[in-house]
Amino acid sequence: MPSVKEIYHKIDDVRIEADSINLNVDGLEALASTQQADVAAIKADLADGIPVSVSSSTLPSGAATSANQTTANTSLSNIDTDIGALADSAASTDTGSFSLISLFKRLLSTKLPDQSSGRIPVTLASAGTTGSTAPTNANLVGGTDGTNLRGIRTDTSGRVSTQIFDSSGTALTYAGTGTAGTPSSDVVTVQGVGGMTALTVAQTTASSLNATVVQSTATNLKTQAEAYQGGTAVGSANPLQVTLANTASNSTAVNIAPRNGAVTVTAGTTSGTANTSAQALASSSTRRYLLIQNISDTDMYFNFGAAATTSHLLLKSGGAGITFETGFVPTDAVNVICSAASKSYYILSA
């Protein structure tokens, strides 16, 4: 059948003027008649059918053929066999040729326990019994960095044991509660606070109690002691009251007697060479009393623990001296220097 373009080109007698379009009607009628004949011929062909030969016609790639259908049917049959039927019996072993339904039936009947308790019990080959030796493979706990797996350590009663470390990785010893009446260096200490319940400190023998009392300010301890004494200053005539827990009065005055004992007398002279330091007294860690006096006619200088120079402690000639007793007593060696040789000094120590 001619296309529209062909029809247009066959209309030769078309004239387009400025004011009108002139057509050759006879030409159009002849063209229409030709088109009608073409349509009639097509209808006749369709009425008789269009012959098609499968063997001679070219099929597209992958088109359905008898051979392809046979392959598909075989695959579907194999899938049915592998899945199995609802009536298939449970598989007798974990290996071998069984349908999936048979294998699932074996799994449900032999591999999973009864679920009536609502939980699945698990028995591990490495799991031990209560109190038995821990196996090589057991539950482990890792560090926060995801490394260093370790087992959880417990004592014979099943209590978990822990170890505390400081930021440098050093193991810390934490204080325990201790045992009443048993001395221990690893117990919890007590920090006092105003209004707290008083702590009782007891001694087992007369000499075993050793305590240090620290005052919060320069006057508090003295003021409180004197208030306890009725406002009278503590002194030899008014000794400090000490509470004795085991006495009936519970407020017995105790006189703290001064320490007594023998003294060592050292009557010595300075170096035989003027302006030369010499040791006057050796050091002593048990020294509790010290008196030094210059009994010569020349000034002397004393130092403790190191050689003496003229910039150290000055004891003037003619009997100047210094005494150390209660409060602080130096235990160092005593050294002396003088501008003249072999000048006398006098030392008492205890």
Average pLDDT over residues 248-260: 55
**Is residue 199's pLDDT more than 50?**
yes
Q: Cα(350)–Cα(343) distance, rounded to whole angstroms?
A: 24
Least confident residue range of 4-18, 304-318, 335-349:
4-18
What percentage of the chain exceeds 90 in pLDDT? Answer: 23
Average pLDDT over residues 260-273: 92
Give SS3 for 100: helix
What percentage of the chain exceeds 70 in pLDDT? Answer: 51
For 125-177, the pLDDT digits (tens) are 555 666 677 666 666 666 666 666 666 777 777 777 777 777 777 877 666 66
Average pLDDT over residues 76-91: 86
Beta strand pairing status for 344-349 and 264-269?
antiparallel
10 Å CB burial of residue 345 (0-12, 13-18, 19+) is buried
- Enter the tokens of residue 36: 């009608």
| Contact in structure between 177 and 188 (CB atoms under 8 Å) | yes
**Is residue 302's pLDDT more than 90?**
yes
pLDDT, position 34: 73
| Contact in structure between 27 and 12 (CB atoms under 8 Å) | yes
**Is residue 79's pLDDT more than 70?**
yes
Confidence tier at 331 by pLDDT (50, 70, 90): very high
| Contact in structure between 350 and 289 (CB atoms under 8 Å) | yes
* Cα dihedral 339, 302, 307, 340 in deg (nearest 10): 10
Q: Cα(292)–Cα(348) distance, rounded to whole angstroms?
A: 7
Q: Can you spell out the DSSP letters for 101-152? A: HHHHHHIIIIIS---TTSS-----TT---TTSPPPSS--EE--TTS---EEP
Average pLDDT over residues 222-233: 60
**Is residue 24's pLDDT more than 70?**
no
Q: Which comes out higher in pLDDT, residue 193 or 244? A: 193
Least confident residue range of 19-33, 63-77, 105-119, 189-203:
19-33
Q: Pick the closest to residue 268 from 294, 289, 249 (CA basis).
A: 294
Q: Cα(91)–Cα(103) distance, rounded to whole angstroms?
A: 5
Average pLDDT, the chain: 74
| Contact in structure between 31 and 38 (CB atoms under 8 Å) | no
Which residues on adjacent β-strands are paired with residue 176? 187
